[in-house]
Amino acid sequence: MPTNLYNNLSGKVALVTGGTGSIGSEIVRQLLATEVAQIRVYSRDEHKQYELGQELGDDARLRYLIGDVRDKDRLDFAFRGVDVCFHAAALKHVPVCEYNPFEAVKTNVMGTQNVIDVSIKHNLEKVIAVSTDKAVNPESVLGASKLMMERLIIAANLITGSGRTRFSSVRFGNVLNSRGSVVHLWRKQIAMGGPVTVTDRRAHRFFMEIPEAVKLIFDSMSLMQGGEIFVLKMKEHSIVEFAEETIRTHASGKNVELSFIGLRPGEKLHEGLLTAEEMTHTLEMENILIILPHADLGPREYPGAQPAMGNTYVSRS
């Protein structure tokens, strides 16, 4: 499916929260290939901003803004004159959120509410937020906080009044080679001779590459009409088979053993991309599933979309 967002961004101002993270920085890189007038990189880490600036050069369209989504006053200033927002800022690691639940709520829930409030105030055109498969039937603080984020984003479309702002989400699987990805850990363990640690031999996951994740964001922003959750169609993979493939690829023929360490707090054996209830109001295109909002947000059309087939979308029953 072609991404026509590139043309629609001509002359506009884009802001990326979490703009120096694995996903946020790739959004920034791809935005530089468009005719967007200005890109505001909003994040907390000055060193990561410095490194990204060194990589991308002193582009006249780039602006680096230090700030936290928890800080509504700073967001309010940063959002002046913005047309579209890519909301990628979040606490994303399951164990971190399990042991710091209040911090997860402050960033993932309250931070999202701040983004919604200032987006409506400054009459943005579109806001698209990054969610996760952990939000489906959540067992973790991360999943629960991201589910709440999705609900806030959907509900925001009901309170825009006469403004033009529309809000939608994308729901990711496990993003390979992102910061903190298990692949990085496995490669280090392989380099040290092993063992490679795996949580549970029965576990299955959905995986996607960073370019796939960002393309989903851009395609979704092109399609969005407000309140949808967009999901990339993905194949599920056995964690064991994936770990063994990583060993074959990076161990140079050496024998590296697996070590099973058990699921960490908040982790599930099997992830899901949609619930059975969501499948009843989901459309599908060639590569994307579109979960429609229950709320009546007016007529909408997605060229080529058909009602989704099946009862649910989980990694393994």
Catalytic residues: 134
Q: Is 252 left (phi over 0), alpha (psi -120 to 50) or beta?
A: left
Structure-block tokens of residue 199: 């949580």
Give the CA angle between residues 253, 256, 258 to the nearest 5°: 145
- CA-based end-to-end distance of the chain: 30
Q: Is 101 left (phi over 0), alpha (psi -120 to 50) or beta?
A: alpha
CA atoms within a 13 Å half-sphere pointing along the CA-CB vector of 77: 8
CA distance 24 to 16: 6
* Residues linked to residue 258 through DSSP beta bridges, in sequence order: 196
